[in-house]
Amino acid sequence: MKRRDFIKGVGVGSVATAGMVGGIQNAAAAKTIKWKMVTSWPKNFPGLGTGANFLAKTINDMSGGRLKVKVYGANEIVPALEVFDAVSRGTAQMGHSGAYYWKGKHPATQFFTSVPFGLTAQEMNAWLYYGGGMQLWEELYDQFNLIPNAAGNTGVQMGGWFNKEINSVEDLKGLKMRIPGMGGEVLKRAGGTPVTLPGGEIYTSMQSGAIDATEWVGPYNDMAFGLYKVAKFYYSPGWHEPGSTMEAMINKDAFNKLPEELQVIVRAACKVANQDMLADYTARNNQALQTLVNRHKVQLRQFPDDVLKKLNSLAQEVVADVGKHDKLSEKIYQSFTAFKNSVIQWSAVSEQAYMKARELG
């Protein structure tokens, strides 16, 4: 009887212990983790700022509130162009920005936003997800204690706002223009002066005459900034940014501390946000463009063919030079270029051919 009582007692104790362990595990699973996301955009700015908000909400919803991300606009915690450093050192766990802003950290970061005369949004996503681009991006950011993710795309951008017409390559000489990334280097080789400014400083710089021209994104965002008030000539196409990927960078230490299922959720949410932003811009750009032209009397122009031809030639030089920076840059350049040369063949007989056929209707 004593033996049976002993065994019974052990069984009850085991059940109690198992219950306690299970309770601890459930409590750990239910614990709310709070992250900060710093961005390069004005708070709640249409498209870019709201895209960051959408990503944060998606993570919160998909995790059932276990991982809550609070979004901070530019200058709320750090300036717009200090997002990279803030996330790298752990001041914030996430950042939302554009990789080409960090060319001072490593020139090859520019490949992961947009390349002049490079890949469209669809082609860029294909390279990242199925052409080896994502692995190269991760390899590049690993040295900075960061994990990159594609988290939005603006699609083909506009060529920019100018205070004078651009009728020849000569008109680019001496031009002070806000234009980041490789596009800025192309302008420099064409005789212009590229200036890197965060979005919040563009309007006042144009208004004061500190710059003569600027590109930002496209009609949806450009109208929100009121750029039609400081320049009337609006040029297309956005040769410098044919499909601009926005990034969600994550502090590697913070990411590794997450349970595996939350890591999966964060990556999946970034993919959802990547697609959502592209849809948002595609839906809203034309409506904004019609308002700019019809209500605000903006003069819509296209760059002359000889200007585009010259810029394209210079772009090939710039991109190749970036690829010579070091071995990793060369590997990224070779991957990007090989994928571009391959995918444009399909684009020519699919998207391009269809667009031409549609115009016949």
- Render pLDDT for 91-120 as a digit per residue (tens, 0 to 9): 999 999 999 999 999 999 999 999 999 999
| Integer-rounded Cα radius of gyration of the chain | 24
- The predicted structure's pLDDT at residue 7: 42
Dist CA 134 CA 156 (whole Å): 21
The Cα–Cα gap between 175 and 160 comes to 13
Q: Which one, of 216, 267, 275, 282, lies nearest residue 245 by Cα?
A: 275
- The mean pLDDT of the chain is 93
Please give the Cα distance from 332 to 83 (Å, whole number).
23
pLDDT in tens, 49-81: 999 999 999 999 999 999 999 999 999 999 999
| Alpha carbon distance 80, 96 (integer Å) | 10
What's the average model confidence in pLDDT over 191-210?
A: 96
Predicted confidence (pLDDT) per residue in 293-325, tens digit:
999 999 999 999 999 999 999 999 999 999 999
Answer whether residue 358 shows pLDDT above 50.
yes
Q: How far apart are CA 232 and CA 156, in angstroms?
A: 20
Residues 6+ apart with CB under 8 A from 119: 126, 127, 242, 243, 336, 339, 340, 343
Q: How far apart are CA 108 and CA 128, in angstroms?
A: 14
Domains and CATH numbers, the chain: 32-153+243-282 (3.40.190.170)
What count of other Cβ atoms lies within 10 Å of the Cβ of residue 132?
16
Residue 10 three-state SS: helix
SS (H, E, C) 212-242: CEECCCCHHHHHHCCHHHCCCEEEECCCCCC
**Helix segments in the chain, DSSP class H:** 2-30, 48-62, 83-88, 121-130, 133-142, 181-189, 202-208, 219-224, 252-257, 260-294, 305-322, 327-347, 353-358
pLDDT of residue 16: 42
